[in-house]
Amino acid sequence: MRRVEIFDTTLRDGEQSAGVNLHLPEKLEIARALVAYGVDTIEAGFPASSPEDFRSVQAIAREVRGVRVAALARSLPADIDAAYEALREAEEPRIHVFIATSPIHMEYKLRLSPDAVVERAVASVLHAKRYVSDVEWSAEDATRSDWDFLVRIVSAVIAAGATVVNLPDTVGYVQPEEYAAMFRYIMERVPGAERVKFSTHCHDDLGLAVANSLAAVRAGATQVEGTINGIGERAGNAALEEIGVALHVRRDFYGVETGLNLRETVRVSKLVSRLTGFPVPPNKAVVGANAFAHESGIHQDGVLKHAATYEIMSPELVGLSSNRLVLGKHSGRHAFREKLAELGLSVTEAEFEELFRAFKELTGKKKTITDDDILALAFDMAHDGERLEIASLQCSFGSHVIPTATVSLRVPGEAPRLESATGKGIVEAVYNAIERLVGGPIELLDYRLQSTSEGPDALGEVFVKVRWHGLVSTGRGVDSDVVLASAKAYVDALNRILIREKTLGDRANTLNEAGVEVAALAPSSDARAGDAEGTGTRAEDSPASGPA
């Protein structure tokens, strides 16, 4: 049976979702979860885009084993050099280079002739091959490119040594039949096509990213690129969890297999959701809360008689099972350590003790501790060190009382600050107090509260999206007190913005030292690292390039 490799770009293309800004410990946690999930390649980032991205790729390359680690680079020697330096300690490094091939991109963005684009593509592959044996080449906006030109340029990069050829649907425009036909057309006409992997990379602007990816596999593609939960720029990317399950459930149709450990599907989905602050819709295929729920009486009757009447796969296939270790106030260290291993959480001894203390505190508030509770505690424990932190929170509210909040905030290098404020509700009062403490204005763009489990003693989990200093970020907070959880989420979002401001400042300083104009680096909600398939800027040679 033909094997299809899974290329995960959650940490690169997925992080380009508006408002997402993952810390390095969070990226490492996701990378380790992806290894447990069984992906073949992790695209860890775009090293040339910023010092922070360089450090992230470098850390993942150094610390994560059992997987190929890729780094993105434009078709520029400096980008490729940076990618290699970041990947130097990787077990299996891959440099991923790209250039646009559609007429509109070549004329208006690159301002290069087709001949010059072919020349630059070949030069980039040759330069990357000086460092690594595994080089992926991508044709940005392939689905709006001339097919005969694609045959020409793909033939050239394969001759130069490319080991993977990626044909992305950069703008989510193509239809499944068209995408499959394009793959067949190129693979049938390119000399040496059988020696390389052909890859898909689909965006979801028309809701067809998964369908297009599957169509390409049917046409002969041997690598699929995507993200967990389909996160990414604009409408997102192809959702890998949906593709993985579809290829497994319908292997009779596709005739392929992957190396995915599907029992890790729900776990990695929840991890990415929590760390990015993007909740999974209840009706989402495979991992949504309602994916295996049956409301209709007819459906319920059928499932009770035989699950296959309305379920094409079992919940256990993707990691949903009721036969799990249940923890409570009498559980000891051994059981807790076993639970962490079951959940795929790797912690140091010091982190274990801190987590166990938090667990014991929680057992005083809750009778039964769920897996989600443990995950929430673990994610809440991970932080960057230099950060704003809630020192104390006092609230006064009621049916005939003006909601008032007094917040004490720890600021790195300073004594705690104290401020009070009122609001229409207690959460607004808390946020107004925090705004006074840090110097507003702060715009709350989204607020969501959900329970991590069932019952009145469940932990409250709050997701927020805020705009501050012209930057947008998400934040997450967990606590048995939903007001405190709301405060934690708000401060978490502010911390992410502070980190991002520092990253942009580091990047601006680096570019200034190199004599590059950095006016385009003014903070905005769109100030992201480069797109997987393109820079979206007028001049590709500018290191200040942003996303498409």
Identify the pLDDT of residue 339: 82
Strand order, beta sheet including 401-410: 389-398, 401-410, 417-422
Domains of the chain: 2-276 (3.20.20.70), 297-382 (1.10.238), 389-512 (3.30.160.270)
Q: Report yes or no on whether pTM surpasses 0.85.
A: no
Q: Tell whether 446 is in a known binding site.
A: no
Q: Tell whether 105 is in a known binding site.
A: no
Sequence-distant (≥ 6) Cβ neighbours of residue 96 within 8 angstroms: 43, 70, 71, 72, 73, 83, 135, 136, 137, 138, 166
Identify the pLDDT of residue 377: 77
Identify the pLDDT of residue 345: 74
Rounded to 5°, the CA angle 446-468-463 comes to 30
Q: Tell whether 457 is in a known binding site.
A: no
**Structure token digits, residue 297:** 């009486």
Would you write out the chain's pLDDT as a tens digit for each of its 548 residues?
Answer: 899 999 999 999 999 988 788 889 899 999 999 999 999 999 999 999 999 999 999 999 999 999 999 999 999 999 999 999 999 999 999 999 999 999 999 999 999 999 999 999 999 999 999 999 999 999 999 999 999 999 999 999 999 999 999 999 999 999 999 999 999 999 999 999 999 999 999 999 999 999 999 999 999 999 999 999 999 999 999 999 999 999 999 999 999 999 999 999 999 998 999 888 888 888 899 988 777 764 445 444 554 555 666 566 788 888 876 445 567 787 888 888 888 877 767 788 988 998 999 888 888 876 667 776 787 677 666 554 557 889 999 999 988 899 999 999 988 778 888 999 999 999 999 999 999 999 879 999 999 898 776 677 677 889 899 999 888 888 888 888 999 999 999 998 898 888 777 655 554 454 444 443 333 333 333 333 334 344 333 344 443 333 33
Q: What stretches of 101-141 adopt beta strand conformation (E)?
A: 135-140
Q: Tell whether 203 is in a known binding site.
A: yes
Would you say 501 and 471 are in contact if contact means Cβ atoms under 8 Å apart? yes
